[in-house]
Amino acid sequence: MANDRILIIDDDEDILETMGALLEYEGFKIHSADSVEKGIEMITEISPAVILLDVMFPEKKTRGFEAAGEIKEKHPDVPIFVITAINREYAFDFTKDDIKAEEFLNKPVDINKLVKLINKYVS
């Protein structure tokens, strides 16, 4: 793969470890950040092929939506996959069109589907 680096930004350590291990097994190089701020700092350093971004963070339930917009302003060519469980837990008034991301996936994510989507963007 030309760029096989994936950045996962999620405050849930279990998600970082599990999703990271599964994607690493599929041949990707995984970088993880447990906060939006750390993740945004890492983007320039590692030049990820894809960013997997959670929505809900302790400081604000919609922080991931805001972060997607911030990332797109500075790094418009980096695909963002928003990965969240909010559709089941909270009734936010957002649609896919409101979010600055290429993909919107619900947790738990089907790893085979995720790998296919990532490969679509890195090939």
Per-residue pLDDT of the chain (123 residues; tens, 9 = 90+): 458 999 999 999 999 999 999 999 999 999 999 999 999 999 999 999 999 999 889 888 888 889 999 999 999 999 999 988 765 444 555 555 556 889 988 888 999 999 999 999 986
How far is 63 from 117, CA to CA, in rounded Å? 24
How far is 31 from 24, CA to CA, in rounded Å? 10
- pLDDT confidence of residue 11: 95
Q: Which fold has domain 5-122?
A: Rossmann fold (3.40.50)
**In this structure, which amino acid lies at residue 60?**
K
- pLDDT confidence of residue 71: 96
**What is the value of pTM for the model shown?**
0.89
Distances (CA, A) of 118 to 1, 20, 74, 108: 11, 13, 21, 16
**In this structure, which amino acid lies at residue 109?**
V
**In this structure, which amino acid lies at residue 9?**
I
- pLDDT confidence of residue 112: 95
